[in-house]
Amino acid sequence: MGKDEFVKRHNGPRQNEVEKMLKVIGTSSLDALIEETVPASIRLKQPLNLPEGMSEFEYVKHIKEIASKNKKFRTFIGMGYYGTITPNVILRNIFENPGWYTAYTPYQAEISQGRLEAVLNFQTVVSDLTGFPIANASLLDEATAAAEAMIMLFNSRSRDAVKKNANKFFVSRRLFPQTIDVLKTRAEPFGIELSIGCHEEFKFDEKTFGSIVQYPAGHGEIYDYTEFAKKSHAGNCPVVAVADILSLALLTPPAEWGADVAVGSTQRLGIPLCYGGPSAAYFATKEEFKRSMPGRIIGISVDAQGNKAFRMALQTREQHIKREKATSNICTSQVLLAVMAGMYAVYHGKCGIKKIAEDIRKKTFILNSEIKKLGYTQENEDFFDTLRITLPSGVSIDEIKKNALDKKINLYYADAKTVFLSLDETTTIEDVNSLIEIFAKSAKKSPAKVDCSMLKSEALPQELARKSSYLEHDVFNSFHSETEMMRYIKKLENKDLALNRSMIPLGSCTMKLNAATEMIALSWEEFGNIH
């Protein structure tokens, strides 16, 4: 395809269409139109200094060359972002399928039944795993979801709290740093004062309107927050839990230990790393906050004949109806990635999700055991996937870094004596042995060799272990073969209107505006698997 063909094929309008439009508005040419509408004082005096355009073929070759420069190291940095395995049936039939990625916001339910069902699946996954009765259709990311929770609680204060100017919000210092930074930014315009500290030491007063903690904590420790929640509620302060959704397959759900809101990322449910985003955030809470919570909610209506239909519930919270009084911005949803995360749970089901979580904990458990044998101190008593390792005397952080980079491995170096590492769904037994070798070599000791037969883990303490069921609905127990899953995805796609079938009746800023060539690199691992 020639260099000028891209514009002709994708941007439009065609030359004959331009001439028709110029004739209608009574202007002789595009140059004349610009002269009549754009003041000379702000027009460029010379053309932009741009190189000659590429053809689509040349562009794909060029972007592959750029992608090849990325070093595909194994990454154990964690901090809210983890390696995942996107099932190919989801990758090909949703992520790379314009029937899904060009679909617009489902304001017209009658042409959106497929994706509304897919998003309801997502909400059900979130609701089941967090233990809350209501969840929204996704938000932008974990940090902004945490900020939305803070603002919701601020706007929901009692009259008495407003009278007393209760503007303090407790923030656990164990939240991920990016979340704390976003909370700081979003708190300022509201006049919210953040109290950042240790959840075990904080004293609530009448000026405090809410609190937020990380579960498991940002350094990997799993705390039992039951007593903290009681203390927070005694001060009339609702509690927000920023929870790792995959860990909730094994841990007590936030709703069961006393949280009032749960937020977090669903990136662990099959969404690539993509340099730390994008990934769909979740937001779940109690019924009492349903009219205050941000983001859209998908619900089910039943007609007089008993037929069910999906629709956007409580739409008056949305800007397209309520404008400045809306509880959310209409662009708050990450619907494509929410659909993928929901389908990941549909494909794996309860048993599959639990097995993935258990495998991660087993590998972390044996790695913890072997690293301690080498003389290192592991600070987390209870953990899911993250170890906080203090170096013994005689071992330098520089040695660890060098030995890790020699094996093309990335770890998180918190300070001169502390290394964090987080395992994930992609971690193999070979990866575990590579990590053991790094710490053994740095301590000048011989590494042990572990194999799959050695994988086991101690039971979590009773107060931390999940006892309630989840993902019992038929949809999570019906489509576990690739063929069944492919047909289910296609069945939902066929209920929708997207750009692969028709022009969409509403305007949009979605990916439908991008040509296939512009989208093609999104699923390449050279971009998708970089932390």
DSSP for 485-501, please give it: HHHHHHHHHTTB--TTT
Q: Please state which of the ranges 43-52, 117-126, 174-183 shows the lowest mean pLDDT.
A: 43-52
Q: Taking a C-beta distance cutoff of 8 angstroms, is the pair 129, 328 a contact?
A: no
94: pLDDT strictly greater than 60 = yes
The whole-model pTM stands at 0.94
Q: Is 470 helix (H, G, I), strand (E, B) or coil?
A: coil
Radius of gyration of the chain (CA): 26
Backbone torsions φ then ψ of 197, nearest 5 degrees: -170, -160
C-beta of residue 433 within 8 angstroms of C-beta of residue 370? no
Beta bridge partners of 420: 388, 412
State pLDDT tens for residues 228-255. 999 999 999 999 999 999 999 999 999 9
Q: Where is pLDDT greater, at 332 or 208?
A: 208
Q: Provide mean pLDDT across the span 221-230.
A: 98
Position 45 pLDDT exceeds 70: yes
Q: What is the mean pLDDT of residues 194-212?
A: 97
Are 68 and 525 spatial neighbours (Cβ–Cβ below 8 Å)? no
Within 10 A of 288 (CB to CB), how many other CB atoms are there? 11
- pLDDT band per the 50, 70, 90 thresholds, residue 107: confident
pLDDT tens for each residue of 248-281: 999 999 999 999 999 999 999 999 999 988 999 9
Mean pLDDT of the chain: 93
CB 319 within 8 A of CB 173: no
Return the pLDDT at 356: 98
Average pLDDT for 32-60: 91
Strands 168-172 and 208-215, by their bridges, are parallel
The full DSSP string for 399-465 is HHHHHHHHTTEE-EEEETTEEEEE--TT--HHHHHHHHHHHHHHTT-PPP---GGG---PPPPTTTB
Q: What is the pLDDT of residues 474-489, one digit of tens each?
A: 999 999 999 999 999 9
Band (52; pLDDT cuts 50, 70, 90):
confident
Contacts of 34 (CB under 8 A, 6+ apart): 43
Spatial distance between the Cα atoms of 281 and 258, rounded to a whole number of angstroms: 21
**Residue 509, pLDDT score:** 57
What gap in Å lies between CA 266 and CA 334, rounded to an integer?
11
Dihedral through CA 143, CA 144, CA 145, CA 151, nearest 10?
120
Average pLDDT on 439-463 reads: 94
pLDDT at 511: 56
- Model pLDDT, residue 353: 98
Q: What is the pLDDT of residues 309-357, one digit of tens each?
A: 999 988 777 777 777 777 766 556 899 999 999 999 999 999 999 999 9
Predicted local confidence at residue 329, as pLDDT: 61
Cα–Cα distance for residue pair 119/139, rounded to 1 Å: 12
CA-nearest of 151, 202, 193 to 173 is 202
Q: What angle do CA 178, 529, 105 make, to 5 degrees?
A: 70
Instruction: List phi, psi (to 5°) of 385.
Output: -140, 0
Q: Which of 506, 498, 486 shows the shortest CA–CA distance to 112?
A: 498
> What is the C-alpha to C-alpha distance for residues 244 and 232, in angstroms, rounded to an integer?
21
Alpha-carbon gap, residue 198 to 239, rounded angstroms: 15
Give pLDDT, residue 3: 67
Name the more confident of 50 and 428.
428
Asked if 89 and 485 touch (Cβ cutoff 8 Å), the reply is yes
Q: Would you say residue 504 has pLDDT above 90? A: no
Structure tokens at 389: 């390792």
For residues 423 and 364, is the Cβ–Cβ distance under 8 A?
yes
Residues, the chain:
531
> What does the pLDDT read at residue 508?
54
Is pLDDT at 208 greater than 90 in this prediction?
A: yes
Confidence of residue 507 (pLDDT cuts 50, 70, 90): low
pLDDT at 108 over 80: yes
**Mean pLDDT computed over 185-200:** 97
